[in-house]
Structure 1
Amino acid sequence: MERVFGRSMLHLDPPEHTRLRRVVSGSFNPRRIERMRPLVRQLAHYLIEEASDAREMDLITDFAYPLPVTIIFERFGIPFPDRPALARLIRRHREARLALVLEKTRRSSDLGKDTQATVSPPGGSVQIMERTAAELRDYLEHLIRVRQHTPGEDVLTELLDIASRSEPGKDKMSTAELVGTAMLLLIAGQETTINLIGNGVLALMRHPRAYERLKDDRSLVGNAVEELLRYDTPIQVVPRVVRDPLDVGGHHLPGDSEILLVLAAANRDPDRFDDPDELDITRRENHHLALGGGPHYCLGGHLARLEASEALHALLHYAPGLRLTDGDLQWRPNPFLRGLESLPVCF
């Protein structure tokens, strides 16, 4: 895990982070992402049409999940025969990582208690993560070798092209860094959008006046996406390390302190937002932190916004009477990410 992900930009500071992000950012700039809109729109409409006869669907399994997964596979040029196995591999990795995160969280909350009596060991989660990381690495190394001989119109080809044209020491990306970055983009390119669509549609169904307003005025979709990002933040918490001693809110944080930044709390800050607990799809001053900020601002933010907006347009067009079916909502048990396991709806 350390060998594969340790060289991804997620775990690096400048200048290393700056160098890697500069190489990748061109593939995810707004103009290039905007060119994907017809494909995203076509896929969103197709997924809704698939459920139109039944007049019901699981919004997560049938819509919010396959939309970003298919698009990121397209962006990487993953061959169609490889996609089912790769999707299963990524899901297995996410589930194993979740098990470890939950285990670590429970152990932290049980400090001072008899942890042997209250907490079960993590079992094979570490081994599963190690194995899936190795399998993902092997697949991506194979795909990189293929792209070196047979370039395509995809992210890996673009990164290889930039690396081959760069001067020594400038914007260079090693094979290990390329693999780590590709794995990061494949996994992170799904999570935020799945949760954004699921949480956002649920919020709209729970606020019928806002939903009716959106149906009457589709020009508000872009604004609504920003408010849904703020209102029910897909990534609730991000870990950070304090580089230098810092005083915040009357608390002293020594250098090298490990801290958690609660983005969801910042997005409900009454000193920053008027009526922060209200869903207002017409909100104008909406400088939220749902996609982070600073050097580590979400690289795929433009893509997530595009996918969410096209998802809303498709739902408003094909399923204007969208409503929840009976049954309790199942949330994924994750302290960092807020997302639904399933969202049964009818229309």
Structure 2
Amino acid sequence: MADDAPLPNLLQLTPMDPVYRADPHVVLDDLRTRCPVHRDEMSGNFILSRYADVRAVVSDLDMLRDPINAEEGAVLQRRSLDQVDPSLPRSHVSSILTLDDPDHARIRRPLAQALYARVAKFKPEVERIISETLDSLEGEKSFDLMDRFCVPIPIDVIASILGVDRERLVEFRAWSEGLIQGLNPFRNAAQTAAMESASEHLNAYFLEAMADRRAAPRDDLISDMVRLQAEAGLADTELRINLTALLVGGNLTTTDLIGNAVRLLLLNPSELAKLKADPKIINAVVEEVLRFEPPVDITGRIAHQDMEIAGCPVKSRQALTMSLRGANRDPEAYDDPHAFNVSRKHKPHVAFGGGAHICIGAPLARLEAQVALVRLFERFPDLKLVEGEPEWRTLPFFRGLERIDVAV
């Protein structure tokens, strides 16, 4: 881009913009080179795109997250406050994703404790779910991998961890899909109605399930959280909101992690050959996918005090948006950053954010992707992409494909 071309606003750093949707790095490389700390007046945010700056900010434990702490000019953050009752405690209207301490730590600590204990022993169940999903594809010559493989696996895995009865899986899947529109700040009226309907059903489901587990505990995450609820001082509303957030946050992003990974491996046969020759490198494969084509574009923080970032003055309560995608391809951090190389000696990527708000579902997402990729290419070693241009979704701040047509 020309040196005098206008710098992009935040909307132009989403797949709603066709240039960004086709190749985000045409835009991000130019922005990082010309103005790595860019003040976007439209959104009221500073946009950071260099690895060093992004990593420093997301790792700073004093940074804030709750939109209520942002200045009035932080349009992107403040607009979410219009949709909630200001008289309610923040922890009764928001999940840990956008809470600050002490509520953030009070709620996240027991949730992480219970979730990580579940994930640590959950690999056999993940393998079972993925094997059943692959069994359903047997005998087919071609199919849409997103619809038949990438979408159902994360929903079924989180449903199993939570303890959703198998006979309710169909409706649980439908509610999970409907809730995804909660991630779209530009959704239309129909999408909002679908989201609200799904939310009502899930709220009722979780409240009923929590009551059931108090009466008769089971071997599942809802029972774990009900048991920890009293000692952690969690209200039912807080528990329900965060179980729902775990569901929403983990489904779409893990779907896109698996889908992006399959596409990258099929487009890079030399890298796929390395995995087939030695499946034990799967951890490195997944980390390179997360660096190269992460499912999430951005994360946000709010300055807790006046500061400077890369020489740029930032005032207390001003909002910061970090381009995780831009940071993960920064040539100052990675050699040949636009090459997909599963043998790369890894500098930690920022695909999961960092600091106190690092993605709570990261261990589960990694586990699902690792098992899914190894099992998929074991079952279908000759899998091929069907010719055609990729159709990227337009959901802002996420990157994933509408469909991946493959042939066996």
TM-score by length of 2: 0.75
Given that 1:97 and 1:129 are in contact with CA atoms closer than 8 Å, whether structure 2 keeps it comes out as no
1:325 alignment counterpart: 386
Equivalent residue, structure 2, for 1:12? 99
Could you say if the C-alpha distance between residues 221 and 141 of structure 1 is closer, same or farther in structure 2, counting changes exceeding 3 Å? same
CA deviation string 1:135-155 (max 9, x = no partner): 321221111111111211111
| SS, match of residue 341 in structure 1 | coil
- 1:102 pairs with 181, 186, 190, which one? 186
Asked if the contact 2:130/2:153 (under 8 Å) is kept, the reply is yes
Which residue number in structure 2 is paired with residue 152 of structure 1?
A: 218
Deviation at 1:250, TM superposition (A): 3.1
CA distance in 1, matches of 2:172, 2:155: 10
Is 1:217 matched with 2:278? yes
Contact 2:305-2:316 at 8 Å conserved across structures: yes
1:259 Cα deviation (Å)?
2.6
Query: Is the deviation greater in 319-328 or in 335-344?
Result: 319-328
Q: Compared with structure 1, are the counterparts of its residues 32 and 141 closer, same or farther at alpha carbon in structure 2 (3 Å cutoff)?
A: closer
What residue number does 2:265 align with? 204
Q: Is 1:247 the equivalent of 2:247?
A: no
Question: Percent same amino acid at aligned positions?
Answer: 28
- Partners of 2:200 and 2:304 in 1: CA distance: 31
> Out of 154, 168, 177, which is 1:82 matched to?
168
Q: Paired residue for 1:106? A: none
Say which of 119, 140, 146 aligns to 1:54: 140
- The residue identity in structure 2 corresponding to 1:135 is H
Deviation at 1:315, TM superposition (A): 1.5
Residues in 1 aligned to 2:347 and 2:354: alpha-carbon distance in whole angstroms: 14
Aligned to 1:25: 112
Aligned match of 1:45: 131
Q: Match for residue 36 of structure 1?
A: 122
Q: How does 1:311-322 map to 2 (within 5 A)?
A: 311-322=372-383
SS in 2 for 1:299: coil
Contact 2:214 2:226 in 1 (8 A): yes
Deviations 1:113-157 (A, max 9, x none): xxxxxxxxx434444444432332122111111111121111111
The question of whether the paired residues in 2 share the 8 Å contact of 1:55 and 1:346 is answered with yes
Q: Normalising to structure 1: TM-score of the pair?
A: 0.87
Query: Using a 3 Å threshold, how does the CA distance of structure 1 residues 125 and 245 change in structure 2: closer, same or farther?
Result: farther
Q: How far apart are residue 33 of structure 1 and its match? A: 1.2
Counterpart residue identity of residue 242, structure 2: T
Deviates more, 1:308-317 or 1:84-93: 84-93
AA in 1 matched with 2:277: D
Q: 1:45 offset after TM fit, Å?
A: 2.2
Q: Does 1:139 align with 2:205?
A: yes
3-state SS of the aligned residue for 1:157? helix
Amino acid paired to 1:271 = E
2:60 maps to none
Deviation at residue 97 of structure 1 after TM alignment: 4.6
Matching of residue 270 in structure 1 with residue 357 in structure 2: no
Q: Is the 8 A contact 1:97 1:125 kept in 2?
A: no
1:35 and 1:74 mapped to 2: Cα distance? 13
**AA matched with 1:190:** N
**Does the aligned pair in 2 maintain the 1:7–1:176 contact within 8 Å?**
no
- Distance apart, 1:212 and its partner CA: 1.0
Give the Cα–Cα distance (whole angstroms) in 1 for the partners of residues 93 and 286 of structure 2. 32
Gaps of 5+ in 1: 104-121
Letter of the 1:199 counterpart = N
- Displacement of 1:173 in angstroms is 0.7
SS at match of 2:289: helix
Q: Secondary structure at the match of 2:189?
A: coil
Which one-letter code corresponds to 2:109 in the other structure? R
Residue 64 of structure 1 pairs with residue 150 of structure 2: yes
Structure 2 Cα separation of the partners of residues 49 and 81 of structure 1: 19
